[in-house]
Structure 1
């Protein structure tokens, strides 16, 4: 069973449809293989990046860790077109695989890429025209159905001059031509389909948000970077489970805390009954600190409704903070948020676009969900809680950054909320 099947409509009844969200969630789908490689229009984690043109790559400095100077590995590549923009747009997020680079500035980087070649612009315009033509055809079809229904039913309950109903055009008048009693309710029309709401013409971004089938065409990925396990990602709207009585993630952590405290109690009577946090081992103390953070509690409470999420996309929205105590949190807890302005476009601002979630760590590192994962698996390895990506609101890239293929890349800002040190 694929990840897509795990979140199928068979489980719709456990979700509260009344509690909506504008957030789009990314879930891991199939693995990337040599026979099933991603294209520009795919979103995926791990593996090798797919550049906007085979001969157009970002500057090398964008792909090097600022701490150890080693090449970075792809964490996520997100196809992220913007409404009204007639070009391809991709966001790449990279991280250093060297464990000593955790929490170091420049060990995680974000690149925004744009392809505005004439061929790309032409293709997108054709896709938009085709999508709009389909909507027009559907609207005409619904209009014709409406007119037909009106024609068939216009005399169904019409009174003549004597005050009685006209004959039923469907054959046989069930009301026997008697005068209408004020006490009697006029029967509702039957067999008249409800008119469907016709959406406005789609933008390319809306059309591209659909999960297009993946290309089976083999591609050559040259000049490979270090890499994690690669998996395709599919996107669905965020939904919340009806049962809010338990918090799966917090309960898991509390179980580990209780277990460690029990172990401490049997180690010696000198520790028995102590209320000091000094008696807790470092891992347990770390979890206790997280439980005391209301933002972490909110993070866990939200994620437990969709525990498989690896990505949260909410352009112009707000990130789900993993902690309320670090420097990244301080930027977003201000009103307005104090996100660094783009140096390449200083008159502009940046906005939140998406964040990478901790479940991605397990998928990137190939941890098997079926195996028992202890506290070290959760807190070691890649040691971030979430990676928050913010991009220029004007989606600007200086002209000198574009090459002969009309492809340009620019480095954007990301805020990494790391696990607490022990």
Structure 2
């Protein structure tokens, strides 16, 4: 197992083991998948529906960014009626490095068929209850006005039809009405009889329905509903693109780890250990005492397959570069830091921000790792931007996407959503 990962799974035959993470490797040869690429110019699901122009620009300098990654993101097991494509863009200008908004992620979704109307089971149940109530009223004397407004019959008719206040399946249009919001009577209400007083449970359930804690409402209007969009800029407005590579993929295999390498910016005085026959275990302890253990786990894991540029596992877990920066503090869980721990928007402090367009949870889908920088910047010194520009400084880019793949409801319509790009920058030396 990795010396910095006590939670790694055992090795098959003490040599290799395969994980659920799919690794991406750059290739200059054309592969079966001609959509997924590193660098180059982006292509769209529908050439007539490019992203809104505002998505092209860096949020720091407001100038067009370059494509880092384009991925063919179809997930037939999860979203059989959707075509998906994922994009990560980055600003190549040095002054924008390490600033929020200099790296942005987009998701394109096209429906293959229209989404059906939401089920109306709740509405049907409500109608059945009303019919039953009218039938009972026809067989019994009509109650006084006060009892009809505040008595048990009225409360029972409007109390929760969805007993779980945490459910996200009901929309606001089907939520039960407030049992305390009936119109005021024109005559003085009569105190209801003791037998018609609602029970504590009925009041509690009704209140729970009213203060539902399901998915919050959207905070951003989808681009397709916001009116005409600014057009995507022409290629002449962009800097020279990175060289294009296709992506080959295979599942991650772990082998026996190499001897830990001391980073260039770390000096360890082990003269005394060497004189006394110091061991590799002592070197490991010295490394752990001076370095971020999470970073060492990151380096050791990538060391098994050093040519990887991409790690992919939908609803899986990112490999954190650090636990001390903003993203690390957001996602790192010291109580459950194994590689198999899932990162979602629920529970503890490990929160990827929710989808601003539909309010649903976001989940991890992929991350770029440092070898992608080496590949993209190969032979690019000073191209198009001057010697002081170019030079990416991130350690990893983590992509969190809408768990429900929200998009337009109409068939064949393409919808664009900006997704969460969690950037962990290189440690300052």
Does 2:346 align with 1:353?
Answer: no
Aligned to 1:339: 352
Which secondary structure state, in structure 2, belongs to the residue aligned with residue 236 of structure 1?
strand
Higher helix residue share: 1
Q: Which moved more, 1:404-413 or 1:21-30?
A: 404-413
Contact kept, 8 Å, 1:39 with 1:50, in 2: the verdict is no
Q: Residues 123-174 of structure 1: CA distance to partner in whole angstroms, max 9, x if unpaired?
A: xxxxxxxxxxxxxxxxxxxxxxxxxxxxxxxxxxxxxxxxxxxxxxxxxxxx
Which secondary structure state, in structure 2, belongs to the residue aligned with residue 239 of structure 1?
strand
Does 2:254 align with 1:240?
Answer: yes
**Is there any run of 5+ residues in structure 1 with no aligned partner, and where?**
1-12, 120-220, 262-287, 369-379
Which secondary structure state, in structure 1, belongs to the residue aligned with residue 19 of structure 2?
coil
Shift, 1:114, TM fit: 1.3
Matches within 5 A, 1:403-418: 406-418=413-425
Does 2:292 align with 1:293?
Answer: yes
Q: 1:100 aligns with which of 95, 102, 106?
A: 95
What CA distance in whole angstroms lies between the structure 2 residues aligned with 1:40 and 1:90? 13
Contact kept, 8 Å, 2:92 with 2:391, in 1: the verdict is no
Shift, 1:390, TM fit: 0.3
Which secondary structure state, in structure 2, belongs to the residue aligned with residue 20 of structure 1?
strand
**Is there any run of 5+ residues in structure 2 with no aligned partner, and where?**
1-11, 115-232, 270-286, 334-346, 381-389
Does 2:322 align with 1:308?
Answer: no
Contact kept, 8 Å, 1:96 with 1:107, in 2: the verdict is yes
Contact kept, 8 Å, 1:291 with 1:297, in 2: the verdict is no
Aligned to 1:21: 19
Contact kept, 8 Å, 1:87 with 1:115, in 2: the verdict is yes
What CA distance in whole angstroms lies between the structure 2 residues aligned with 1:291 and 1:112? 40
**CA separation of 1:103 and 1:245: change in aligned 2, threshold 3 A:** closer
> TM-score of the superposition, structure 2-length normalised?
0.54
Which secondary structure state, in structure 2, belongs to the residue aligned with residue 408 of structure 1?
strand
Aligned to 2:219: none
Shift, 1:353, TM fit: 0.4
Shift, 1:44, TM fit: 1.1
Which secondary structure state, in structure 1, belongs to the residue aligned with residue 372 of structure 2?
helix
What CA distance in whole angstroms lies between the structure 1 residues aligned with 2:243 and 2:290? 31
What CA distance in whole angstroms lies between the structure 2 residues aligned with 1:52 and 1:102? 30
Contact kept, 8 Å, 1:53 with 1:405, in 2: the verdict is no
Q: 2:81 aligns with which of 77, 82, 86?
A: 86
Shift, 1:41, TM fit: 5.4
Contact kept, 8 Å, 1:15 with 1:240, in 2: the verdict is no
Which secondary structure state, in structure 2, belongs to the residue aligned with residue 246 of structure 1?
coil
What CA distance in whole angstroms lies between the structure 2 residues aligned with 1:39 and 1:410? 27
Contact kept, 8 Å, 1:81 with 1:87, in 2: the verdict is yes
Aligned residues: 256
What CA distance in whole angstroms lies between the structure 1 residues aligned with 2:291 and 2:365? 28
Matches within 5 A, 1:3-402: 16-17=15-16, 19-30=17-28, 42-82=35-75, 83=77, 84-117=79-112, 223=235, 225-226=238-239, 227-241=241-255, 243-247=256-260, 250-251=261-262, 253-254=263-264, 257=266, 292-334=291-333, 335-336=347-348, 337-346=350-359, 348-366=360-378, 381-399=391-409
What CA distance in whole angstroms lies between the structure 1 residues aligned with 2:412 and 2:267? 59
Shift, 1:14, TM fit: 11
**CA separation of 1:381 and 1:410: change in aligned 2, threshold 3 A:** same
Contact kept, 8 Å, 1:16 with 1:239, in 2: the verdict is no
What CA distance in whole angstroms lies between the structure 2 residues aligned with 1:405 and 1:296? 44
**CA separation of 1:67 and 1:222: change in aligned 2, threshold 3 A:** closer
What CA distance in whole angstroms lies between the structure 2 residues aligned with 1:290 and 1:308? 28
Root-mean-square deviation (CA, aligned residues, Å) is 3.2
Shift, 1:42, TM fit: 2.5
What CA distance in whole angstroms lies between the structure 2 residues aligned with 1:343 and 1:15? 46
> TM-score of the superposition, structure 1-length normalised?
0.55
Does 2:425 align with 1:421?
Answer: no
